[in-house]
Amino acid sequence: MIKVAVTGAAGRMGSGIIKKISELDDMEVVAAIEMPNTPLAGIDAGQKAGIDDIGVKITGSQDLRKTLESSEADVLVDFTIAHAAVETIKIATSCGVGVVVGTTGFSDEQMEENINNIENNNVPAVISSNMSIGVNVFFNTLKSLSQLLYDYDIEIIEAHHNQKKDAPSGTAMTAFEVIANELNRNPEEVGIFGRKGMVGKRTKEEIGLHAIRGGDIVGDHTVMFVGEGERIEFKHQAHTREVFIAGAIRAIRYIPNAKCGVVSSINDVLGIK
């Protein structure tokens, strides 16, 4: 039985993960964490997930270390926001707890700190900008398309709900990096994030990224390869957060047998080379 701690326990992803785990026989939720000094403290996490009580009370993240130690969690799952997740990962890894992280928006410095904490504390970890199985097939297919369509203009368009705080999405950024690396282009030099005004003629090297926010869009990602007289649009659409939850569950199952002190990707979880 895998003992799981969930941060952002009352959020969309957190409560969805708690609900899904309650249906499984090989793992259980042993800790549910929310923001510091949360007014939800003491409420059963099952109630916030829309299910029966599971016997796990929500606690504030100011008590994270104590909560992890008393619950004897094997893995902590984090789908929150970057600045909070950095501190969560620091504490969890120092407690010897493995981590599954789907949070996006980390700066390079924050990600470096995450990796250092994982390596220095020698714990297993999975970090992915998108836990969807389909999206990770999408990333791998982009490698082949980029090789074939290397001389086409490339633009990336992503759309998400109006509550998403970071832009472009972590998934769009991963797609961008996959394409740039495949084409031997420096991501620091070729990314164009939206356009306004007299920006000049498009260069052949640049890759455009554009973010749309509205309503309850779960997650749409389109990569356009535009040539002379034709274009190919390669798209992934998430219809429900269940696709991310399914990937997170696979990542949780992967943790007990994962290499310690190494940051694995969802590709490792899925066995995609």
Query: Would you state the CATH architecture of domain 2-127+242-270?
Result: 3-Layer(aba) Sandwich (3.40)
Sole residue written with tokens 């972590």: 170
Q: Which residues are annotated as a binding site for (S)-2,3,4,5-tetrahydrodipicolinate?
A: 161, 170-171
The pLDDT value given to residue 159: 97
pLDDT higher for 166 or 254?
A: 254
Cis peptide before 124 (omega within 30 of 0): no
Does pLDDT of 81 surpass 90?
yes
Q: What is the pLDDT of residues 44-76, one digit of tens each?
A: 999 999 999 999 999 999 999 999 999 999 999
Q: How many Å apart are CA 14 and CA 34, to the nearest integer?
A: 9
83 has catalytic annotation:
no
The least confident of 6-10, 24-28, 76-80, 236-240 is: 236-240
Sole residue written with tokens 């941060």: 7
pLDDT tier, 251 (very low <50, low <70, confident <90, very high otherwise): very high
The pLDDT value given to residue 267: 85
Does pLDDT of 272 surpass 80?
no
Half-sphere exposure of 108 (CA within 13 A, CB side): 2
Helix (H, G, I), strand (E, B) or coil at 176: helix
Tokens of 209: 């990224």
The pLDDT value given to residue 266: 87
- Percentage of the chain modeled with pLDDT above 90: 90
Instruction: Check if the beta carbon of residue 78 is closer than 8 Å to that of residue 32.
Output: no
The pLDDT value given to residue 105: 86
Do domains 2-127+242-270 and 133-239 share one topology? The answer is no
Q: Which of 3, 90, 164, 210 is catalytic?
A: 164
Does pLDDT of 227 surpass 90?
yes
**What are the start-end ranges of the H helices in the chain?**
12-21, 45-48, 64-71, 82-94, 108-121, 133-148, 170-182, 187-190, 242-254, 266-270
Instruction: Check if the beta carbon of residue 158 is closer than 8 Å to that of residue 234.
Output: no
Q: Which of 48, 160, 221, 236 is catalytic?
A: 160
Q: Span 133-239: which CATH code? A: 3.30.360.10
Q: What separation in angstroms does the CA of 32 have from each of 64, 124, 130, 243?
A: 10, 20, 22, 21
Is the CA virtual torsion 4, 6, 10, 11 positive or negative? negative
pLDDT tier, 132 (very low <50, low <70, confident <90, very high otherwise): confident
128-137 average pLDDT score: 88
160 has catalytic annotation:
yes
Q: Which sequence spans correspond to the domains of the chain?
A: 2-127+242-270, 133-239
pLDDT tier, 270 (very low <50, low <70, confident <90, very high otherwise): confident
Does pLDDT of 273 surpass 80?
no
Tokens of 229: 């007289």
Instruction: Check if the beta carbon of residue 30 is closer than 8 Å to that of residue 2.
Output: no
Tokens of 263: 């940051």
Average pLDDT of the chain to the nearest whole number:
95
Instruction: Check if the beta carbon of residue 21 is closer than 8 Å to that of residue 246.
Output: no
Q: Which residues are annotated as a binding site for NAD(+)?
A: 8-13, 34, 102-104, 128-131
State the DSSP H helix or E strand holding residue 103, giving kind and residue range, or none if neither: none
Q: What is the pLDDT of residues 178-219, one digit of tens each?
A: 999 999 999 999 999 999 999 999 999 999 999 999 999 999
> In degrees, to the nearest 5, what angle opens at C-alpha 255 toward C-alphas 22 and 268?
115
